[in-house]
Amino acid sequence: MQTQPKKAGRGNGCPLYKKCGGCQLQNMTYAEQLSFKQAKCIRHLKRFGHVEEILGMAEPFRYRNKVQAAFGTTRGGKIISGVYQSSSHNIVCVDNCMLEDETADRIIVTIRALLQKHRLRPFDEDRGTGFLRHVLVRRGFQTNEVMVVLVTPTALFPGKKEFLKDLLTLHPEITTVIQSVNGAKTSLVLGRQELVLFGKGYIEDILCGRRFRISARSFYQINPVQTEVLYGKAMEFAALTGKETVLDAYCGIGTIGLVAAERAGQVVGVELNADAVRDAKINAKLNNAGNARFYCADAGRFMTEAAQAGERADVVFMDPPRAGSDLPFLRALVTLAPKKIVYISCNVETQARDLGFLCKHGYRVGRIQPVDMFPHTGHVETVCLLTHS
C-alpha cells in the first residue's frame, strides 16, 4: 500500500495492490477480513471445538517491524527496490507500504539513492555482477533501535566508509549496520557470514515487559503489538502456578519461554537456528531468568531424546514454522505426556493435522483462539490449548 488510508476501509487505494500481491485481502474492509479469517479457522478447526472470536488490531497499519527489500535494475538502468511479484523474480518497486514501519521504508529509499551517488549497482543474478542484493531493516518498536543489513554477494564493499558516513548522517536513528555475505543462488536472503560495520551487530526490543536481543538471522515476531496479545492468550491457557517444568519448542530467541519463566519452576527451550539460541541464552541473563536453559537442536530429535531419557514436562509451548511439527516430535510429545500443550501456529491446515494426531493420542482441545497478526494478508495465527483427557 502506498497511500495514507482515511480509515481501515475497503481498497485503501494502494497503487501496487495488484502488482505486489502482498495484501491478498485489501479488497475487503478490515471487519470483512476478520470475518474471512474467522471463517477459515472455523472451517479447519471446528471439529476440535468452539473457535473463539478472532482478536484484531485497533490500528491495523504500519505493524511490520521488519522490512526486506530486493534490489535490482530496470531495463532502462534505473535502480529499484521492493518485493518480488508473487511467484516471479520481477521486483515491484516499493517506496512506502502501509503495512511496514515508516522509518524502515525511508531508510531503504535512501539506500537506493546512495547506490546511485556512490556508483554501486544492484547485484545482477544472471551476470553475477553488482554489489547489493537485499536490504533488511528491523526496528525495535519499544526501544527505537534500528538494524540495517546490507546483503552482498561477496565481502567486498567499494567505498564503504563514505557510504556508511552518508547513511548514518541521513539516518542518525540507525543503531547498527551489518553486511551479510550471501553469494549463493538461493531464496534465503541472509548469508552465513556477517560483518558488523557499525554498532553492536544486533538490536534489542521489549516485549511483554522483557528485554530481548535480536540478531540479524534470528526469528523475531514481525508484529510486536499483536505478539503481546498472542502471548497473553498463550499464558492464560497455560495458567502456570510457579512450579511447572515448561518446554518452549521452536523457541526462537526465547520470547515465550522467558515470558513464562517468572511463573514456572523451570523452562527449557529448543531451537534449530544457532544464532537464535545464542540470543535466547543472552536473553535469559538479560531478564534474570536463572531457571531457563536453551538448546540448539532439531525439536523432534530433542524431544525424542528427552522422552527416551524419561524426562518430564508439565506444560509444552510449541510454535512450529508453517510446515507444522513432524511425526518424531509429535510421537515424543505424547510420550512426554505434558498435562497441557499450548500450540501456536501460523498455518491452520498443518495445525489441524497435528491436532488430529494429538487428539488420537489422548488429548482434547480446550480452547481455540485466532489472532490477527498479519492484517490485509490472508495469514492467520491461532493458539490452541490441549489437555489430557
Just list the catalytic residues.
Answer: 346
Q: Please name the helix (run of DSSP H) or strand (run of DSSP E) that holds residue 282, with its range, or none.
A: helix 274-286
The distance of closest approach from Cβ of residue 343 to ligand SAH in the complex, given in angstroms and rounded to an integer, is 11
CA atoms within 13 A on the CB side of 269: 31
CB atoms within 10 A of CB 88: 9
Please report how the helices 102-117 and 160-170 are oriented relative to each other, as an axis angle in degrees rounded to 10: 140
Closest-CB residue for ligand SAH? 252
The distance of closest approach from Cβ of residue 101 to ligand SAH in the complex, given in angstroms and rounded to an integer, is 18
Distances (CA, A) of 178 to 75, 150, 198, 256, 302: 30, 6, 7, 27, 32
Of residues 66 and 112, the one with the C-beta less far from ligand SAH = 66
Three-state secondary structure call for residue 174: strand
Sign of dihedral through CA atoms 326, 330, 336, 338? positive
Q: Which residues bind ligand SAH (CB under 6 A)?
A: 219, 221, 250-252, 255-256, 270-273, 276, 298-299, 319, 321
Cβ proximity of 213 and 283 under 8 Å:
yes
Of residues 155 and 206, the one with the C-beta less far from ligand SAH = 206
The distance of closest approach from Cβ of residue 73 to ligand SAH in the complex, given in angstroms and rounded to an integer, is 33
Of residues 15 and 321, the one with the C-beta less far from ligand SAH = 321
Of residues 145 and 271, the one with the C-beta less far from ligand SAH = 271
The distance of closest approach from Cβ of residue 252 to ligand SAH in the complex, given in angstroms and rounded to an integer, is 3
Distances (CA, A) of 116 to 73, 133, 147, 287: 11, 15, 22, 44
C-alpha span between 255 and 55 (Å, rounded): 20
Order of strands across the sheet that contains 146-152:
91-93, 79-84, 66-73, 134-139, 146-152, 174-181, 193-198
The distance of closest approach from Cβ of residue 306 to ligand SAH in the complex, given in angstroms and rounded to an integer, is 13
Of residues 88 and 186, the one with the C-beta less far from ligand SAH = 186
